[in-house]
Amino acid sequence: MMHFISVQDLKVQEILAIFRRTDTLKKKPIQPLLKDKNLAMVFQKPSTRTRVSFEVAMNHLGGHALYLNSHDLQMGRGETIADTARVLSRYADAIMARVFSHKDVVELAARSGVPVINGLSDLLHPCQALSDMYTIHEKLGRLRGLKLAYTGNARNNVTHSLCHACSKLGMNMSVTCPPKHAPDKAVLRDSMANAKATRTVLEVTPDPKKALKGADIVYTDTWFSMGNRPSRIEENALKPYQLNSSLLRHAKRGALVMHCLPAHRGQEITDDVMDGPQSIVWDQAGNRLHVQKGLLSLLV
């Protein structure tokens, strides 16, 4: 594993190795495994969890993280991604990048001499999905055979990386959304191939009750990612997919509720569900730090 651009690029053994390392680091958080190493963090978009968890992770591991807003770099004045990658890899030991276009993080990795981590692109959010799988395993003691239902706008980076992760790790996944908001076709094709190999089910259905039936975990995310304002028509189409207490009743009794955050309370999820006894969203967010440490310590 040279870079971490997509969960789809990882072998199951590599994912499990990250989880084992994460367990160790969660028990003993301060270990100088990356003493004097530097992580360059390029952000084209805002972030709370990704930025802070990577920065604290590097501190805990004895290294240092540099926050580089793309507007403050020469990228903002037209220096190419490729040239930026060539230069940053002369200074830093690894690069983490949050970009608008997925092809930018692919290009960054192609031109970088040091490991590149995808901190979110328009297509994928692999760090989130990796951490979510760790959290589910921590809460339920296994992954294989569980069912995750995703409800809401499924044409987004988090759903795509969850499709890769669930199908690879032997979890069933049911995605429920309006047809216009279905996951990317290429992501589904790769995930369906994974699901065939792991003998699991990956389905997309417009029927939220059917999707939630028997679900161990119910997951949702914002209907519209950064900068995209929903039209009234789109918002109305997504309303039946809101994660509220009446929809949650269709999942298994006590099913876990997950959201990658930030949440738009009252839109994709209601307050009573987000703050209710089945919600694990804060533990989920907290684990971003620990899993990032597991990933960094093995990759760098």
Please state, in angstroms and rounded to a whole number, the distance separating the CA atoms of residues 297 and 291.
Answer: 10
- Which residues, numbered 55-114, are part of the site for ligand CP (CB under 6 A)? none
Is 49 a residue that touches ligand CP (CB under 6 A)?
Answer: yes
145: left (phi over 0), alpha (psi -120 to 50) or beta: left
Shortest Å, Cβ 285 to ligand CP:
7
Cβ atoms of residues 170 and 240 within 8 Å? no
Shortest Å, Cβ 52 to ligand CP:
8
Cβ atoms of residues 55 and 41 within 8 Å? yes
Interacting residues of 85 by C-beta distance below 8 A, sequence separation 6+ = 95, 107, 108, 109, 110, 111, 112, 116
Nearest to 116 by CA among 195, 2, 194, 33: 2
Active site residue 292: no
Is 48 a residue that touches ligand CP (CB under 6 A)?
Answer: yes
- Would you call the peptide bond into 262 cis, given omega within 30 degrees of 0 as the criterion? yes
Active site residue 265: no
254: left (phi over 0), alpha (psi -120 to 50) or beta: left
Shortest Å, Cβ 171 to ligand CP:
20
Please state, in angstroms and rounded to a whole number, the distance separating the CA atoms of residues 205 and 178.
Answer: 8
Nearest to 200 by CA among 163, 175, 171, 174: 171
- Which residues, numbered 234-273, are part of the site for ligand CP (CB under 6 A)? 260-262
Active site residue 125: yes
Nearest to 151 by CA among 143, 136, 162: 162
Tell me which DSSP letter residue 229 carries: P
For ligand CP, the closer of residues 112 and 128 by Cβ is 128
Shortest Å, Cβ 160 to ligand CP:
14
Residues in the chain: 300
Is 47 a residue that touches ligand CP (CB under 6 A)?
Answer: yes
From 47-55, 77-85, 200-208, 228-236, span contacting ligand CP (CB under 6 A): 47-55
For ligand CP, the closer of residues 50 and 270 by Cβ is 50
Is 128 a residue that touches ligand CP (CB under 6 A)?
Answer: yes
Is 50 a residue that touches ligand CP (CB under 6 A)?
Answer: yes
Active site residue 163: no
For ligand CP, the closer of residues 119 and 178 by Cβ is 119
Shortest Å, Cβ 131 to ligand CP:
9
Catalytic residue among 44, 128, 242, 292: 128
For ligand CP, the closer of residues 48 and 101 by Cβ is 48
Catalytic residue among 164, 260, 290, 292: 260
User: Strand pairing partners for 43?
Assistant: 69, 98
Which residues participate in catalysis according to the annotation?
98, 125, 128, 221, 260, 288
User: What residues make contact with ligand CP under the rule CB under 6 A?
Assistant: 47-50, 120, 128, 260-262
